[in-house]
Structure 1
């Protein structure tokens, strides 16, 4: 079984998927049929199919066969617009958007904790002196796990300096219907600018199991630090499977209907 032959199998299937010969969720030819078509052994056909599985292009199910990966990503509104960001307003924005896409069972679980500030968080919040002062080393953590059809869909963790969040609604495990930015404004802090970094990485084994990910599916990681002038107010890290999410950024005076306007955009389209 030469490497070149299994690569030929993978190339053959990849080209077929690119042409749209098979639709998302459709069953692909089995190992035996594929081996006969390409004049290779079943073992070589199997190895070629595994290459595409590792790329996240197909899903191989034991006893059922191989199927085209069904990438139907939900648009994640990364840029706040009039009325707030859907990533923060679960009931008013994010949940209805999922229901419109055909998902019914949607839930959010929130946990709040108090911990010492890890070096990564201290760097994001520019707290080089995190250990100084009576509460300088403490951070309030709001963790939100969002579930769709019983599976973990998105995980978001926000860190607030203790001096900002102590004895405020930010320490409550209840959902903040008006959004974090609105709560901060009520406390006298205005989020007037922020920066984002978005990257991709492969999940750990625990993350793959928690998100229910097959081989070859990376995670998108979005980091955001929001400021009031030169004062960092919060650091938020959102982790989401790349085949289920795509980030939407806007510039200028984007309309409130932006999320609806872009809801049918799919970067996996060919």
Structure 2
């Protein structure tokens, strides 16, 4: 299979596929945004697409903070700068193994552009989620331990924090992906970041988010300065392990 027939091929080569495939294959992380406002009805469409995503037990305990006020965005800009600078000073200094240095340099330049122009970001979406307090009953715990067995039960006790974080994330990130797909379909640029978590309490204080509510992303949204185009990803043959690793 040649490179032009892998997941990197252009959308117009996919005329026999559903339109969603073309949307996904050209959904780059777009960080350079025009300052023009995004109509509220389009932002509502983005949140609606997120709400259509699944959540554990269909509890739907998500909340979305949508920021468009320039004064609030200006207040958030220094927090964004601190988070981005902290990232670039550590992990962000180095291109991932196997990634072209020039391509990585272009990505960093886009990150720096977004940092330097953050106050002009037209909209920012903060997805939040909070599980209800767990209902723990001795009889249920005993039945769970019996189902898992003693070794797995002991292991589970040590990984409960990770399990709960993944459980909450699994209730949020499918909706976030829906939002990103909807943005691309509407011609809007967006990208998902979690750098705000380095200063999460300060972000929550600035936005009035309750202290016990968890935030899962900060998604800048706006009209793109650049053009959408094919994403560069590994091929299916490189990542699939059929039946066993």
The TM-score normalised by the length of structure 2 is: 0.26
TM-score normalized by the length of structure 1: 0.24
Q: Comparing both structures, which one devotes a greater share of its residues to strand?
A: 1
Tell me which structure has the larger Cα radius of gyration.
1
Identify the structure with the greater helix proportion.
2
Kindly indicate whether structure 1 or structure 2 has the higher relative contact order, using CA contacts under 8 Å at least 6 residues apart. 2
